[in-house]
């Protein structure tokens, strides 16, 4: 019977890639070269069988981009979609360089997209970390998106979503209160604390959609692990989030649309409309203040539903407008999300999920729009496959 040697096992389906870098391991750490074989990155040349095909790849090598607020499985304009359309959404994101997605709430079950075997629905798709479905207060969120419930069912619902997800639960923390005519928290401080306790007891982390200023002290008191949007940050809550190292997923490309949302509600809810415009106007200053205070910033687009997929570079452009330099942008979009989610970057032996650019993205993030190569689990990809 024939046996496969360790060297032969490194070959996989495609050629060995010799990455002639620099290889950007982190903001201030790099290697001159590395190799991709057997689906993994190697800092030293691996032992290869005689005659192995080696493809030279030149350029700046970074870990794949991450989108930590992306809705795979919500169709354009809202509502659930089918698995084939969800797969197409993930391919659209992948072809922009996004190789890691935290799905911040989906209407359909997308677990099949995590099966990366050849021929499976998830083959050649980014790594997907699921939050399950949104949990929202009854009639206090977009219709059809969330499990809507009252506080007496919240703890049970959190436990169920923790089991269904990949260790994340998403709570809708605030929305328009039609009686008040403005944004307001949808849960009490006690409700937020109970939700966080239930998530943590189930071994999961919990994040929240939040636009409003009043919600942030409540979720920080409750011990939430992450903040989505966080447009209501104040000097006080910025300091608290920085001290607790609670990250903010930026979604600035979505916040830019707040003026449109304001116009839609202007006639019935003028206070809400004015509030949304203020939040939009302060988005860049608030992001800079959070960064300067030490709040971890993680890139997210809110793609899916209202916004289309494939917009990570629009988010990076918004971060630049907020005053982040190239290294800070790449940190928010690649290194920091992987560290936060416990997903490897370009460490020796890590899965080879990486991008190659002609110029240094630390000097200008815009070079990431023109990728020289996309490598996913060691496979050199062509767009659309």
The CATH number of residue 332's host domain is: 3.20.20.140
Same domain, 110 and 204: yes
Is 0.85 surpassed by the pTM of this model? yes
Same domain, 248 and 352: no
Same domain, 179 and 233: yes
Task: Report yes or no on 1 lying in a domain.
Answer: no
Owning domain of residue 58: 6-63+344-380
Q: What is the pLDDT along the chain (385 residues), one digit of tens a residue?
A: 333 334 344 444 579 999 999 999 999 999 999 999 999 999 999 999 888 999 999 999 999 999 999 999 998 777 788 999 999 999 999 999 999 999 999 999 999 999 999 999 999 999 999 998 999 999 999 988 999 999 999 999 999 999 999 999 999 999 999 999 999 999 999 999 999 999 999 999 999 999 999 999 999 999 999 999 999 999 999 999 999 999 999 999 999 999 999 999 999 999 999 999 999 999 999 999 999 999 999 999 999 988 999 999 999 999 999 999 999 999 999 999 999 999 999 999 999 999 999 999 999 999 999 999 999 999 999 765 5
Residue by residue, DSSP assigns 90-151 as: HHHHHTTTEEEEEE---SS--GGGG--STTSTTTT--EEEE--S-EEETTSSSTTTSEEE-G
Same domain, 348 and 207: no
- Number of structural domains (the chain) is 2
Name the token pair of 204: 């999961």
Task: Report yes or no on 234 lying in a domain.
Answer: yes
| CA of residue 53 relative to chain centroid, distance | 35
Same domain, 45 and 125: no
Same domain, 51 and 148: no
Three-state SS at 205: strand
* Distances, alpha carbon 199 to alpha carbons 42, 205, 208, 275, 362, in Å: 37, 6, 12, 31, 37
Name the token pair of 245: 């190292």
User: In this structure, is the dihedral angle defined by the CA atoms of residues 159, 164, 165 and 170, taken in order, positive or negative?
Assistant: negative
Task: Report yes or no on 20 lying in a domain.
Answer: yes
Q: How many Cβ atoms from other residues are within 10 Å of residue 257's Cβ?
A: 14
């Amino acid at each position: 019977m024939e046996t496969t040697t360790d060297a032969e096992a490194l070959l996989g389906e495609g050629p060995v890639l010799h990455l002639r870098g620099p290889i950007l391991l982190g903001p201030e750490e790099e290697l001159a070269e590395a190799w991709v074989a057997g689906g993994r990155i190697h800092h030293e040349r691996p032992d290869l069988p005689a005659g192995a095909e080696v493809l030279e790849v030149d350029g700046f090598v970074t870990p794949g981009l991450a989108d930590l607020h992306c809705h795979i499985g919500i169709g354009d304009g809202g509502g659930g979609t089918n698995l084939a359309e969800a797969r197409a959404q993930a391919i659209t994101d992948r072809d922009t360089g996004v190789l890691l997605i935290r799905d911040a709430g989906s209407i359909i079950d997308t677990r099949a997209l995590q099966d990366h075997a050849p021929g499976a629905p998830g083959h050649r798709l980014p790594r997907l970390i699921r939050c399950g479905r949104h949990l929202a207060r009854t009639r206090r969120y977009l219709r059809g998106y969330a499990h809507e419930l009252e506080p007496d069912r919240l703890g049970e619902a959190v436990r169920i979503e923790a089991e269904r997800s990949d260790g994340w639960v998403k709570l809708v923390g605030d929305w328009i209160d039609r009686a008040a005519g403005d944004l307001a928290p949808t849960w009490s401080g006690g409700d937020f604390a109970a939700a966080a306790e239930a998530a943590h007891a189930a071994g999961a982390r919990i994040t929240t959609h939040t636009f409003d200023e009043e919600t942030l002290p409540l979720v920080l008191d409750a011990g939430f692990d992450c903040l989505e949007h966080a447009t209501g940050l104040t000097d006080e809550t910025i300091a608290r989030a920085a001290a607790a190292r609670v990250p903010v997923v930026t979604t600035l490309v979505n916040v830019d649309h707040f003026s449109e949302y304001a116009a839609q509600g202007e006639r019935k809810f003028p206070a809400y409309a004015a509030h949304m415009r203020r939040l939009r106007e302060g988005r860049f200053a608030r992001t800079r203040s959070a960064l300067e205070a030490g709040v971890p910033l993680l890139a997210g687009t809110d793609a899916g539903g209202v916004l289309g997929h494939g917009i990570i570079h629009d988010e990076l452009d918004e971060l630049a407008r907020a005053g982040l330099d190239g290294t800070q942008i790449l940190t928010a979009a690649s290194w920091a999300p992987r560290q936060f989610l416990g997903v490897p970057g370009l460490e020796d032996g890590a899965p080879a999920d990486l991008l190659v650019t002609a110029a240094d993205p630390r000097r200008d993030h815009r070079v990431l729009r023109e990728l020289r190569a996309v490598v996913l689990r060691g496979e050199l990809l062509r767009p659309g496959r």
